[in-house]
Amino acid sequence: MPERRVRADAQRSLDATLEAAKRVFARDGVDAPVRVVAREAGVGVATLYRHFPQRADLVAAVFRREVDATAAAAEELAATLPPFEALVAWLRRYTAFIATKQGLSAALHSGDPAFAPLPAYFSGHLGPPLATLLDAAVHAGEARPGVDADELLAAVANLAHASGSLSSVSMVDLLIDGLRVDGSA
């Protein structure tokens, strides 16, 4: 069965809803009233529920969209920056993604079955782009060989998730400095 195309106006309302949900969740947490999301998106509550029948559906969609955007940034950075700089820029973007998703993280670990596939989605979509950036930096002689991309993802996430503050950013920068072949900043 061919995939149904979404009308342009329906796609715009879906995009507006996801963008509004991202802002509302960051500001008020994932338990914010859906009417606030609908109002900020400029859509009716019925439209929101048509796209996302359960709150978990909306939370998961925001999470997937953010993961996809973070993953896609790797290709753009690799095309425009030297290998190690691209790796650093992506790791900083990933750090910001984790640090601003504290409420989403709590929801993802809530035991709700709607969130069960998301950890695999996360690692499956973020691990490969990081591995590509890391391999390019290693091949350029700028990064230490033998670093596992999935372990690096977890390490950065743990540091960024620890507080979401400037101290976590500086700790991630310290970790990044440790990736350099010569260890210099």
- pLDDT value at residue 97: 83
Please check whether residue 161 is in contact with residue 102, taking contact to mean a CB–CB distance below 8 angstroms.
Answer: yes
Torsion sign across C-alpha atoms 13, 75, 159, 117: positive
> In this structure, which topology does domain 1-53 adopt according to CATH?
Arc Repressor Mutant, subunit A (1.10.10)
pLDDT at 100 over 70: no
d(CA 167, CA 165): 5
Q: What Cα–Cα distance (Å) separates residue 157 from each residue in 7, 97, 140?
A: 37, 9, 25
Which residues, including other chains, have CB under 8 Å from residue 181's CB and lie 6 or more apart? 141, 142, 143, 144
Please report, for the chain, the start and end positions of each structural domain, with discontinuous segments joined by +: 1-53, 63-179
Identity (one letter) of the amino acid at 101? K
Q: For the chain, report the end-to-end CA distance as a whole number of angstroms.
A: 54
- pLDDT value at residue 46: 92
- pLDDT value at residue 6: 63
Please state at what angle helix 55-80 crosses helix 83-99, rounded to 10 degrees: 160
Cross-strand bridge partners of residue 143: 180
Q: What is the pLDDT of residues 52-62, one digit of tens each?
A: 999 889 988 99
d(CA 159, CA 162): 5
d(CA 97, CA 161): 10
> In this structure, which topology does domain 63-179 adopt according to CATH?
Tetracycline Repressor; domain 2 (1.10.357)
Q: What is the pLDDT of residues 128-138, one digit of tens each?
A: 999 999 999 99
